[in-house]
Amino acid sequence: MPRLRRSPSLPTFAHALLNFPHSTLAPQHATFPALMKKLTLILAALLALGAAGLYFGLGPALSSGVMIGVNNLGPQVTQTHVELAAARLSPFSGRGTLTGLVVGNPPGWSADHAFTLGKIDIKVNLRSLRGDVIEIEEIVIEQPEFIYETRLVNSNLKALLKNIESFTGPSGSGTPPANAPPSKPRKFIVRKFRLSEAKATLGVGPAALPVPLPALELNNLGLDKGGATPAELSGEVLAQVLASIVRAAGTAPINAGAAAGRGTGEAIGGGLKKLFGGSSKK
């Protein structure tokens, strides 16, 4: 069996993955769905990084290499604390598990993190690594949690987005950062994507409103176009996730008002409107 070539630099390759094309959206006009889409691109790059590690044949150093890449590169991208607790990836079976991924909040916000991902299971078709399109048989994300804080016209996610933009280059500028190596995004097909036990928390402190999200399952992502970039995959997945968040948030005021035993549904609904930038105040 021919030996797979070794990657000269895992962090450098991860850096290239994070500079794939992204949507043209100025930070000051970003909506909540667009913000979450951009943040989720980080996750897509991490998943692609796991597959890339298999592709470059890192062997026994694969798991530690992915952890080093995520924990060293993540803070550069977000300018916040980023920590991956553990990674277990096998170049022989194509299976991998990432656990305890935490992305911190920018300075000045109440919560210590913006989102966490409890467990990510990946299964890669090893035979596909020799081709132009990598086939990921399954991605399962368990217990993801998102926190959304607002302050006047700003939010923690908008601040985090601004940090990410400063690393990747302005959206729609067509000009990557000076230190970014030239790269062509590798394409993927995801046969099965499943997200379970997800939760979004609107606000922080006593007024925080946790919103449980239903399980989500998608099949054959990128198949119809012969493969999709991480950015395209994340956009397709997140469109479904955000629809779920909107539906869950729409019922949250009713449930919260009933639980509190008072008729505050409209007040809570107004709070939700402000959280999502719907206030009439400018």
Specify the amino acid at residue 70: V
The CA distances from residue 269 to 200, 213, 265, 276, 282, in Å, are 16, 18, 6, 11, 19
Going from N- to C-terminal start, the domains of the chain cover 30-170+185-275
What does the pLDDT read at residue 109?
A: 92
Residues whose CB is less than 8 angstroms from the CB of residue 179 and which lie 6 or more positions away in sequence, other chains included: none
Residue 44: closest CA among 222, 229, 183:
229
4 confidence band (pLDDT: 50, 70, 90): very low
* Confidence grade of residue 172 (pLDDT, cut at 50, 70, 90): very low
Q: Which has more pLDDT, 131 or 252?
A: 131
Core vs surface per residue 81-93: b (16+ CB within 10 A) or e: ebbbeebebebee
Structure tokens that stand for 32 in this block? 């909540």
Q: What percent of the chain has pLDDT over 90?
A: 6
Structure tokens at 275: 């959280």
Tokens read off for 16: 């290239």
The radius of gyration of the chain's CA atoms, rounded to the nearest angstrom, is 19
Quote the CA–CA distance of 229 and 247 in Å, as a whole number.
Answer: 28
| pTM for the predicted model, two decimal places | 0.59
Structure confidence by residue, pLDDT tens digits, 5-18: 443 343 433 443 34
Pick the range with the lowest mean pLDDT from 63-72, 184-193, 269-278.
269-278
Distance CA 186, CA 191 (A): 16
pLDDT surpassing 90 at residue 128: no
pLDDT in tens, 80-110: 898 888 888 777 788 888 899 898 999 999 9
List the structure tokens of 91. Answer: 């170049």
Q: DSSP alpha helices (H): ranges in 90-227?
A: 156-168
- Whether 117 and 126 have beta carbons less than 8 Å apart is answered as no
Backbone angles phi, psi at 110, to 5 degrees: -70, -50
Q: What single-letter DSSP state applies at residue 105? A: P
Give the per-residue pLDDT at 253. 56
Grouping H, G, I as helix, E, B as strand and the rest as coil, residue 61 is: helix
Amino acid 206: pLDDT: 87
* Contact indicator for 20, 229 with CB cutoff of 8 Å: yes
